[in-house]
Structures are given as C-alpha cells and as structure tokens.
Chains A and B, each alone.
Chain A
C-alpha cells in the first residue's frame, strides 16, 4: 500500500453529478448546476476513508474535474483532465479514479470509462442518477455490470448522499490493492498502430499501450511535454503514416461495439424508454417556438420585479437602521477626530452599500434557481440562433446571465465554449451585462428621479426602468459583439451540440447557501475595499495642502457675519472639502466630466469607483456626510436629494445628471477584478486593455449624449 494521502480524481460526463458528489464527500461548496459545463477548472478537497476492522481512518485528497465525453478535449476546460491523467508526475495524479456515470444514459457514459480504464488507472465506477433512470423505466444491474467491466461498481445518489460509505470502501480497497492484474484493454490496436505504439513506448519508457497512443494523438495538449518531444512524436506519426482523425472515429466506434452488449445485458427497460414525464411536458412549452420566448421574457421580468418590489421593504428598514446606528455612535463616542473617522468615514461608506444586501441576495438566489432547475440549458437553445447573428454561441447565454450577478465567475464559465473565437467575443462583451455591483448605483439614482408609481396595477415603474437599464447592457453587449466580429477574423466554425438535462427540482438548501455566500462575499470583499477607500478618502478630504483649508474656512466665517451658526458650519464643511486633497483631485478631473453634467464631488466618487463600482455609493455617502453638517443623520438618499448645485442653486441631482450617470455605469468597465480575470483568461494584456478602452469611450460618449439631450 502506498504511503501518505490517497489521491482520488472525479471523472465523468458533463452533468453526471461529479461536483455534487465532491460536495457530499468533502463538505465543501463547489458550484453545481443542472447543465453541462458547470465546472471549468479542477478543485481539490479532502475526505476521510474508513479504516479496515477498527483501524484509524485515513485522509484522502479528492479533485473534482470538468466533465468530458471522452479523453479527447474539445474545449479549454476539458484539457485539464488529460493533463493530469496522462502525467504520473503531476501532483494531482490519482491513485484511484472514480468515474461518475449517469445511469440514465449508461452506454454513452461508459465510453469515457473504457478510455480511463485503458489508460491503466485503477478505477471505481459510481452509478449516479439512478432515480432519473428509474423514472425512465430503466433498471441497472450493478453486479452484472461489475463482472462484465471488471471494475468495482457502486450505486450512489450524489444528491441525497446514499451509497457514499460503499463508495469510500471501494476506493479504499482499490487504493490498498497490492497486485496489479494484467490490463484487459477495451480497445485493441490494429494495423500500423501496433508498431507505432511499440516505438512510442520504447522512446518514452511507457508501459501502457493506450497512454502511448495518447502521446501520439494529444501531445500538443500535454503541458508536461517539451518541444523536442513533440517534434519527435510528429516524426514518428509521419514515419508510420498514421491517420489521426480516422483512428479517433474508428476507436470510438470499436469501443461502442464492446460496450453495447454489456449495456444490453445489465440495463433492463420496462416498456418504452423515454425522458422523464415532466421533462417532456415542460419542454413542449419552454422550447416552443412562441411560448418559449414568452416564458423567457416573463421569467426575466419577474426577476426585476422581485429585485425591486420584494427587496424594497428589507432595504428601507436596513437604511433607517443604519442611519440610526450612525447617529447613536456619534452620540456615545467622544467628539473629535476618531468619532468623525468612524461615523463619517467608515460607517457612512459601509452603510451606503449594506442596504443592498436584500436585492443582491434575491438576484443570486434567482440565478441559482435558473441554473439548478435545468432551464438554463433551454435558454441556451432558444437563444442560439439569435446569439449566432452576433458572432456568439448559445452557450454564451450562461456567462451573460451569470454576468448579472458578477462578471468574474461569468468570464470563467466561458471556458466551456469550444470555439476560441466565440469564447473571446463572449469574454469581451460579458462586462457589459449589469452586475450586482451596479445595482446600488441604479437603485439610488432611479429612486431619485423615477416616481414609485405602478402601471397596469402591478408593474412598478422603477422596476421597469431598471429592466430598461439591464436591457441596455444586453443590447450593448450584443451590438459590441457584432461590431467586434467584423474586426476579429474567425478561424474555425463554432458548434453547439448540447445535451439537454432532465429538469430537477432545485435544492433549496443549496439556493439558500448561494444567497448566504453571495451576501457574505459582497459584505466582506466589497466591505474591505470600501473600508480602505473610505479611510483614504476621509483622510484626503479632511486634510489639504498647506493651510489652504484653514484660510478658506476663515474667509467663509468672516464673509457670513449675519448667518446662524448652523449655516456657517454647513458652509465651512463644504469649503473645507473643496480645499482638501480630495477636493483638489475632484477639481482636477472636473473639466473632463463637466460635459457629462458631473461636478467635482461626483468626480471624486467616480475616481474612487475605479477600484470597484460598489464604492461609488459608499463614497458619495462619505463625501456628503463630510461636506454637510446635519442635525440628525439622514439616509444616503436624503443626502443626495438635499444636495444643491452651486451654479444653478437648484437640485444637483437633476434627471439629466442622474440618467447620464446611469448610462455611464451601464457601459463603463470599472472593476479591477474583471480586468484581472480577462487578463488571465486571454493570457495577455492586449484584450483587457482594448476592452477597457472601448468600454470607457462608449460610456463617456453615451453619458455625454444623454446629458446634452436632456438638459
């Protein structure tokens, strides 16, 4: 038996339930979803293997891998699998591979199993989705299957956790096995393959025929092979006149010839095999040429109504609560520097975003329900034709929809798009989808200029405007994709081919966790940035170069001899801000943003929000609580309403300014994390910089047009 931790890898077809099994074994929360291509990179965790007759438990390391239909990768995410399995020196190279098979479609799932088995890796076959198989009138005889395939077969239900102890036991036994029985290959090489395999085995000291064949077919994907090795392999291919494409098809057909009789022996069908009843019924509506679109539109409108109507009550309560807390803190802390920093700086900044917890939680919950139910795959189908017109792919719908939550994970999901061209376009336009960080900005500004009236009795006008902004983002994304597609040459045709999973009831615990997790990361991740920025901003706005601030203060005091103390105080804090470092920054960029209708205060918030958009509202809150001197602490919205435009004397936040800001934030790419993830996914700075530039130009020009037309 091997020393140290046992390493296990989870391999299987897309959507077979690997990540669900991973979560059940490790207690971690790897993302799952009911459509193919959810997992796009490897993820490790640990779990305990039972000890034999009373011995100590042993720890095992397990990696969850992206799903694949075969070991020949077709998209970026799938390359990870063979990179690990073909390289014994890889740190994740497994001692035991658990092949997770969807029992409702066993024949196809076994193709991958036979390939993994031929690589000489110790396997355990986990039969999952047996409940789905049952609803399709299928019964699987695991014992029969184990005998025919010569592998331990375990029946599990990854969702409920049934059969996990049996699986652990099988893994432990496989890992402890000392004798290595001779491998009975499922695929037997023919013709020139035999000599080629012999040559490769000798050259690279390999002992497995099928691994040698993989060196031949896949060496360009293997990151562990150096260039000379690749060149040598190309020479061998030439020498033996090996036709790779012909071989791949012949191999696959030959494997199915082996699998078919085994499946027909071990899977019994009572009556006609059909997709589960509800899946057929739902699909007849949701994929309907007309009703399919109607339901999709209804689903989207429901989401926006939910964000606006349902979230208002808890948000308003939070808002009032935060204002009260700040006031209370102001009262109990001794007056002075620290009091101001904590209340006007940190608490005002944080409070500005905490009120957005309810809508963000609702948004994440709804997106998670779309993903878990299986509806997402249908949306990909009904949108494919439309997406194709813009150079995208039906699969681009997933990043675009999850981009409404956050662009960073959304851009990662593009790895399952097989065409590099379509993937690149999708990456470039995903940041145009309005993410949850824009929601605070939208909400506040909409509340300022749009009355909360209802049309047709139910539809909230504010909700409709919000819907309009999100649509604008989508239209922008599609139009940009189309324009980019005119400039970026397309090298290979894209394809769609998507398996439709059966509908599944979302797991409510899972949805609740997604909600909790999104709120947690929103509060902590955004909170950290906002806290840091609030402090910096507070310092920058409380101090100025030299004694400029004091001079300005003295000038104001002497110019207002008649005014009440309150008026003088308000005027003082305002000029102090103006002459602080932050004020200087604001004034510095004011000429640039003036045509959009913004003053230097908005300029400060705009600059700060380059770190992350969430910061905008928090910064506004900080700036206005510093510059105003209020008797009792107002909510952020009240502060904005009270703000006066010094030039006109009217309200600062006129409809023209608000709409101009709204449009600016629909298009502007103001998020360091997005830039970083695009850099990582496209392997360079070229695309993120192009993206940053065109989005900024787009944002500036559109905001300019809106302001000039409206004012």
Chain B
C-alpha cells in the first residue's frame, strides 16, 4: 500500500507532514510554510471534490488541488 497523503484526509481529519514526493512542487510547498513535522487539517472540500483547503499549523488556510495534495506524505 502506498503512503498516506494529504489527499487521503477526510474533512476535519488531521495529519503530520512527513515528506514530499515531487521535487518541483515540494519547493513551492516549503516556501508556503508546509514543512515536515507540521500539522495539517482538512478544512473544506470544494464542489466536485477538488481543490481542497487545508489548515497549515493552525496559522493559515491553504487551498490546493488533489494532485498537489497527493505529493505531501503524512506520518
């Protein structure tokens, strides 16, 4: 079974970021404050299930597409 990622979270569920599987996207995510060890929570799901909004470390809300969320592996 492949690792659990942010795209697997259900609404309201939390997770802790472990690593990223895509290099290009990981830089952008890091710059936006998604760091390994950071807690995220799925806050909202847009109509048709994509994009999703996650709360990053309690400090702000980040919206990303499911394929972008699938890059973020959880612990």
Contacts and interface: CB of A to CB of B under 8 A. Distances in A.
A249 interface: yes
Interface in B8-61: 23-33, 35-36, 43-51, 53, 55, 57-61
A466 to B, nearest CB: 26
A382 B63 CA distance: 10
B64 interface: yes
Contacts of A496: 51, 63-65, 68
Contacts of A293: 47
A108 interface: yes
B70 interface: no
B45 A70 contact: no
B64 A272 contact: no
A290 interface: yes
Could you say which interface size class chain A belongs to? Answer: 35 or more
Contacts of A70: 31
B30 A253 contact: yes
Given A105-B59, A249-B26, A497-B62, A384 B32 contact: no
Interface string A79-109: 0000000000000000000000000110110
A459 to B, nearest CB: 25
Contacts, number: 120
Interface string A59-87: 00000000001101010000000000000
A499 B46 contact: no
A99 to B, nearest CB: 15
Interface in A86-145: 104-105, 107-108, 111, 136
Interface residues of B, number: 34
Interface in A286-311: 287-290, 292-293
Contacts of B59: 104-105, 107-108, 136, 273
Contacts of B53: 283, 287, 381, 500
Given A105-B60, A287-B53, A385 B48 contact: yes
A188 interface: no
Nearest to B33: A108
B43 to A, nearest CB: 7
B13 to A, nearest CB: 16
Contacts of A499: 32, 60-63
A69 B31 contact: yes
Contact of A292 (B29, B33, B46, B51): B46
A289 B47 contact: yes
A248 to B, nearest CB: 5
